[in-house]
Amino acid sequence: MNESLNISRLRIGWVLCLKLFVYLPLKSQTSTTIGKEFYFSFLPNGETDNGYQMSVSLTSQFTTSGTLEVLGTGYSQPFTINANSTLKLDIPNLYKLGGIDQLEQKVVYVNTEQDITAYAYNEDFRSSDGTMVLPVESLDKEYIITAYKRFVGNGNNWKSQFIVLGVTDDTEVDITFAGEVEANGQVLFEKGQTITRTLNRGEVILYQSVNDLTGTQVKVTDDGTVNCKKIAVFAGNDEFGTNSSFAGNSTDHTFSQLYAVRDWGKEYFVLLHETRFLPEPVVIVAAEDNTRLEITSVPPQTLNKGEIFPFFAEVEHYIIAEKPISVTHYTSSASDDRSERGDNIADPFMMVLSPLKQTSNDMVFNIFESETIQQHYLSIVTSTQRLDMRLDGENIADQFAPMDLAEQYSLAIIPISPGAHRLQSNSGAIAHAYGFGEEEGIGYAIGGDLGQFDIDIRNVNSGLPTGQVCANEDFELSVTAENQVLNELYTNFEWDMGDGTVLVGPVVSYRYTTPGNYNITLSASKSELSCSDLNVSRNMEVMGAAIESIAGPQVVCPNVENVSYELTGSEPDYD
């Protein structure tokens, strides 16, 4: 019967603005680990230089080109990454950081044509660590430091440290220290003291202390307006150990990029690491006052903003908080459980854990390739009910088992080889990679995001989805998300309709009066006073003529010609 509706057989003398609806949902990624722009730098690593090397490994699903620069120095490396492979780029040692509280032009900037993931590595002899690097879209303006130092005093000179990177000129930053900052035996800043520093794009500033700086608050200065400048923050230790002898032969460098406070979560798993036998340090930091924690096998705790709760994990733990928290997992010194293992294949690393809300369906990642790391592992947590997991195209669902802590989740910890990999799951997953070598350890999250927003455009009268509208025709725009966390976090939506009109709300209605092409831009944020960290645009075509009614036969047999319909409406004005 559809044959009778062939427009060439109808006696219509002009093209009409028919309601031919095409569903074109608009999707936009929120905080994520893939992108095209990355800013990073490196923490000081230990006290000596025994083959020190800074590097970055780049991985992509696509063949893409890009450039690595050390901003403001003239140093530049063009590069090309082949699809589903890893490219390692070394950074000259002259861009190591030097003094405390000094602005330095030592920020590495990577820019590519297609999306990639990036991992920074800070290597020295038996003193290495690495971190996933977040793209600029996942940076924000408020951070709280985790740079845990278990032993303070008694001649222990291991340093708690962090760096702040400017990605925009004239970025004013307030820093409130959770411990004294010292240099050359002199106290530079007191515990609780707040200082303000101004960073330009490409500048980085370092703070170190023999005291624990965990809980230090770093944020772009609040000037009473919506200040949308961002910063990047990395933290760790020049050396970290859990052996109170301070012998130095069982310590390791720790180094991680920190998630912005806006991306902290309320639920985490702490998992035991393969080959390790003794309890491992876990550090929780609260984003808000009166944050109550429920931790399996640990008494309940209540923390205020910036307050920390360290404990040692002897078993796996499920952490549930009433308000956002960060959780960082450290491994113990090799000497602590050497007798149980019978070797030195272990040492500390620092892993900032991904919250359960940050599942990802598709992760392209890199396992660090180094002569010093001999064993590599991948831990994966996913939904038990919708278990579906592929690693490099191979179905690995049979390697998962429900977790005793929460049977709605399943866990797999699998050995993995160095190099580029791809993890895919329809139900989403969180994953972390780690490895051990001779008195060496390295660990990092491999990817995650909060999912995607769908933007639905529908004709108001018919209720049908549409990709085009007619002039003077009402249509509705709405925001939806499969991940309920997105609906909870993002509450403020602004729609720039491209004709000077701005609408506010998760659901809005509008009509264009003039034909043409309009660029609709959605800006989403977590409050009226926060920056829009999700921006997405869509071109809308507005047709110039509308059909008010079509009169004629409702049923037409095939191969019948000269069927007449009477159309009521306006004819477009063609040039």
pLDDT digits (tens, 9 = 90+) for 180-239: 998 777 899 999 999 999 999 999 999 999 889 999 999 998 765 556 789 999 999 887
- More confident site: 51 or 380: 380
Structure tokens at 184: 């050359």
- More confident site: 112 or 489: 112
The full DSSP string for 96-154 is: S--STT--BS--EEEEEEEEEEEEEEEE-TT--EEEEEPBGGG-BSEEE-----S--ST
Exposed/middle/buried for residue 569 (C-beta within 10 Å: 0-12, 13-18, 19+): middle
Task: Give the list of residues 6+ apart from residue 116 with CB closer than 8 angstroms, or none.
Answer: 34, 35, 36, 58, 59, 60, 64, 66, 81, 110
The pTM (predicted TM-score) of the whole model is: 0.79
pLDDT band at 446 (very low <50, low <70, confident <90, very high): confident
Over 50: is that where the pLDDT of 123 sits?
A: yes
pLDDT of residue 463: 63
Q: What average pLDDT is seen over the chain? A: 82
**DSSP structure class, residue 180:** -
Over 80: is that where the pLDDT of 365 sits?
A: yes
- More confident site: 242 or 320: 320
pLDDT band at 157 (very low <50, low <70, confident <90, very high): confident
SS3 94: helix
Give the tens place of pLDDT for each residue, 263-299. Answer: 899 999 999 888 777 788 899 999 999 999 999 999 9
pLDDT band at 172 (very low <50, low <70, confident <90, very high): very high
3-state secondary structure 2-61: HHHHCHHHECCCCCCCCCCCCCCCEEEECCCCCEEEEEECCCCCCCCCCCCEEEEEEEEC
pLDDT of residue 122: 84
What is the edge-to-edge ordering of all strands in the sheet holding 516-525?
Answer: 468-470, 534-543, 516-525, 492-496, 502-504
Structure tokens at 314: 């002897």
pLDDT of residue 4: 34
Residue range 317-328: mean pLDDT, rounded: 96
Exposed/middle/buried for residue 373 (C-beta within 10 Å: 0-12, 13-18, 19+): buried
Residue 453: CB atoms within 10 A of its CB come to: 24
Q: Where are the beta strands (DSSP E) in 213-316?
A: 217-220, 231-240, 252-257, 265-270, 280-286, 291-295, 298-303, 308-313
Over 50: is that where the pLDDT of 20 sits?
A: no
Residue range 247-263: mean pLDDT, rounded: 78
Over 90: is that where the pLDDT of 9 sits?
A: no
- Are 255 and 122 in contact by the 8 Å Cβ rule? The answer is yes
Residue 7: CB atoms within 10 A of its CB come to: 9
pLDDT of residue 505: 87
- Are 459 and 510 in contact by the 8 Å Cβ rule? The answer is no
**Of all residues in the chain, what percent carry a pLDDT higher than 90?**
45
pLDDT of residue 476: 85
Residue range 368-395: mean pLDDT, rounded: 90
Residue range 33-53: mean pLDDT, rounded: 81
pLDDT of residue 90: 94
